[in-house]
Amino acid sequence: MKKWIVMLALAAMSFTGHAYAAFYDNSAQYMIASDTMEGKFYLDRSSIRQEEPTESNPCAIRFAILSVPRNGGMLERTWYTVYYDKANGIASYQVIGADALDADGNVSGITSTRGAGAMKRAIPLRSNMYYLADACYLYFNHEHFYSRLADTK
Protein backbone atom coordinates (compact mmCIF):
# COMPACT_ATOMS: atom_id res chain seq x y z
CA MET A 1 0.00 0.00 0.00
CA LYS A 2 2.78 2.43 0.88
CA LYS A 3 4.43 1.58 -2.44
CA TRP A 4 1.58 3.05 -4.49
CA ILE A 5 1.34 6.13 -2.26
CA VAL A 6 4.98 7.02 -2.87
CA MET A 7 4.63 6.15 -6.54
CA LEU A 8 1.57 8.38 -6.86
CA ALA A 9 3.35 11.33 -5.29
CA LEU A 10 6.39 10.86 -7.52
CA ALA A 11 4.20 10.38 -10.58
CA ALA A 12 2.68 13.79 -9.92
CA MET A 13 5.92 15.19 -11.31
CA SER A 14 5.00 13.78 -14.71
CA PHE A 15 1.96 16.04 -14.93
CA THR A 16 4.17 19.12 -14.90
CA GLY A 17 6.04 17.84 -17.97
CA HIS A 18 9.38 18.32 -16.25
CA ALA A 19 10.05 14.96 -14.67
CA TYR A 20 8.77 11.44 -14.34
CA ALA A 21 9.05 8.48 -11.99
CA ALA A 22 9.06 4.75 -12.68
CA PHE A 23 9.43 1.48 -10.83
CA TYR A 24 12.08 -1.06 -11.67
CA ASP A 25 12.00 -4.82 -11.29
CA ASN A 26 13.57 -4.94 -7.84
CA SER A 27 10.92 -2.54 -6.40
CA ALA A 28 13.61 -1.06 -4.16
CA GLN A 29 14.24 2.01 -6.25
CA TYR A 30 12.35 4.68 -8.11
CA MET A 31 13.75 6.68 -10.99
CA ILE A 32 13.47 10.44 -11.07
CA ALA A 33 14.45 12.01 -14.36
CA SER A 34 14.22 15.25 -16.21
CA ASP A 35 15.31 16.45 -19.62
CA THR A 36 17.76 18.83 -17.97
CA MET A 37 19.40 16.25 -15.68
CA GLU A 38 22.75 14.69 -16.54
CA GLY A 39 21.93 11.07 -15.79
CA LYS A 40 19.40 9.01 -13.90
CA PHE A 41 18.49 9.36 -10.25
CA TYR A 42 16.85 6.72 -8.05
CA LEU A 43 15.25 7.02 -4.63
CA ASP A 44 16.57 4.07 -2.63
CA ARG A 45 13.37 3.03 -0.80
CA SER A 46 15.29 0.82 1.59
CA SER A 47 17.13 3.90 2.88
CA ILE A 48 14.05 5.86 4.02
CA ARG A 49 14.18 6.27 7.80
CA GLN A 50 12.38 8.52 10.24
CA GLU A 51 14.83 10.13 12.65
CA GLU A 52 14.25 10.27 16.39
CA PRO A 53 12.37 13.48 17.21
CA THR A 54 14.20 16.22 19.08
CA GLU A 55 13.01 19.53 20.46
CA SER A 56 14.56 21.45 17.57
CA ASN A 57 13.52 18.87 14.94
CA PRO A 58 10.19 17.21 15.83
CA CYS A 59 10.06 15.46 12.44
CA ALA A 60 13.04 14.54 10.27
CA ILE A 61 13.33 11.87 7.59
CA ARG A 62 16.54 10.57 6.02
CA PHE A 63 16.86 8.92 2.59
CA ALA A 64 19.38 8.32 -0.18
CA ILE A 65 19.38 9.12 -3.89
CA LEU A 66 21.42 6.92 -6.25
CA SER A 67 22.98 8.81 -9.18
CA VAL A 68 23.89 7.11 -12.45
CA PRO A 69 25.83 9.57 -14.67
CA ARG A 70 25.10 9.57 -18.42
CA ASN A 71 28.81 9.65 -19.20
CA GLY A 72 29.37 6.28 -17.51
CA GLY A 73 31.11 7.81 -14.50
CA MET A 74 31.12 6.38 -10.99
CA LEU A 75 27.78 5.67 -9.31
CA GLU A 76 27.08 7.76 -6.23
CA ARG A 77 24.65 7.49 -3.31
CA THR A 78 23.89 10.86 -1.71
CA TRP A 79 22.26 10.97 1.73
CA TYR A 80 19.74 13.67 2.64
CA THR A 81 17.78 14.60 5.74
CA VAL A 82 14.53 16.55 5.37
CA TYR A 83 13.34 18.58 8.37
CA TYR A 84 9.61 19.29 8.59
CA ASP A 85 8.15 22.33 10.36
CA LYS A 86 4.47 21.37 10.37
CA ALA A 87 3.36 24.49 12.25
CA ASN A 88 4.66 26.75 9.46
CA GLY A 89 4.24 24.33 6.54
CA ILE A 90 7.93 24.60 5.66
CA ALA A 91 10.38 21.81 4.96
CA SER A 92 14.12 22.12 4.47
CA TYR A 93 16.83 19.62 3.60
CA GLN A 94 20.47 19.01 4.33
CA VAL A 95 23.02 16.95 2.43
CA ILE A 96 24.55 14.44 4.86
CA GLY A 97 27.21 12.93 2.60
CA ALA A 98 27.83 10.76 -0.42
CA ASP A 99 29.28 7.31 -1.06
CA ALA A 100 30.95 6.25 -4.30
CA LEU A 101 29.62 2.87 -5.46
CA ASP A 102 31.09 0.18 -7.68
CA ALA A 103 29.17 -1.38 -10.58
CA ASP A 104 27.49 -3.86 -8.20
CA GLY A 105 26.25 -1.09 -5.90
CA ASN A 106 28.76 -1.76 -3.11
CA VAL A 107 30.49 1.15 -1.37
CA SER A 108 33.89 1.43 -3.00
CA GLY A 109 35.51 2.88 0.12
CA ILE A 110 35.60 6.41 -1.25
CA THR A 111 33.30 8.63 0.74
CA SER A 112 32.64 12.24 -0.17
CA THR A 113 31.41 14.84 2.27
CA ARG A 114 31.02 17.48 -0.44
CA GLY A 115 28.17 19.68 0.71
CA ALA A 116 27.76 17.69 3.93
CA GLY A 117 27.07 19.66 7.05
CA ALA A 118 26.00 22.65 5.02
CA MET A 119 23.16 24.68 6.42
CA LYS A 120 19.63 23.54 5.79
CA ARG A 121 18.23 24.63 2.46
CA ALA A 122 14.62 25.54 1.76
CA ILE A 123 12.85 23.16 -0.61
CA PRO A 124 11.74 24.94 -3.80
CA LEU A 125 8.06 24.66 -4.70
CA ARG A 126 7.32 21.85 -7.18
CA SER A 127 10.95 20.71 -7.38
CA ASN A 128 11.94 17.03 -7.28
CA MET A 129 12.86 17.47 -3.59
CA TYR A 130 9.41 18.99 -2.95
CA TYR A 131 7.67 15.82 -4.17
CA LEU A 132 10.18 13.50 -2.50
CA ALA A 133 9.83 15.30 0.84
CA ASP A 134 6.04 15.08 0.66
CA ALA A 135 6.09 11.40 -0.37
CA CYS A 136 8.45 10.46 2.48
CA TYR A 137 6.30 12.37 4.99
CA LEU A 138 3.17 10.64 3.67
CA TYR A 139 4.93 7.27 3.96
CA PHE A 140 5.37 7.66 7.74
CA ASN A 141 2.54 9.98 8.77
CA HIS A 142 -0.31 8.90 6.44
CA GLU A 143 -0.98 12.51 5.44
CA HIS A 144 0.58 14.94 3.00
CA PHE A 145 2.96 17.52 4.37
CA TYR A 146 2.13 20.00 1.63
CA SER A 147 -1.61 20.70 1.76
CA ARG A 148 -1.76 21.44 -1.99
CA LEU A 149 -0.93 17.76 -2.61
CA ALA A 150 -3.64 16.47 -0.26
CA ASP A 151 -6.07 15.75 -3.10
CA THR A 152 -3.58 13.29 -4.69
CA LYS A 153 -4.15 10.67 -1.96
Per-residue pLDDT, 119: 77
Distance (Å, rounded) from C-alpha 62 to C-alpha 139? 12
pLDDT band at residue 6 using 50, 70 and 90 as cut-offs? very low
Per-residue pLDDT, 149: 67
DSSP line for 112-130:
E-TTTTPPPEEPPTTSHHH
Distance (Å, rounded) from C-alpha 149 to C-alpha 145? 8
Which DSSP category does 142 fall into?
S
Mean pLDDT is highest, among 66-70, 90-94, 109-113, for: 90-94
Q: Examine the pLDDT at 118 and tell me if it is beyond 80.
A: no
Q: Examine the pLDDT at 27 and tell me if it is beyond 60.
A: no
Per-residue pLDDT, 102: 78
Beta carbons of 10 and 1 less than 8 angstroms apart: no
Per-residue pLDDT, 34: 53
Element spanning 107, H or E: strand 107-112
Distance (Å, rounded) from C-alpha 139 to C-alpha 6? 7
Distance (Å, rounded) from C-alpha 42 to C-alpha 46? 11
| Mean pLDDT across 45-73 | 86
pTM value?
Answer: 0.69
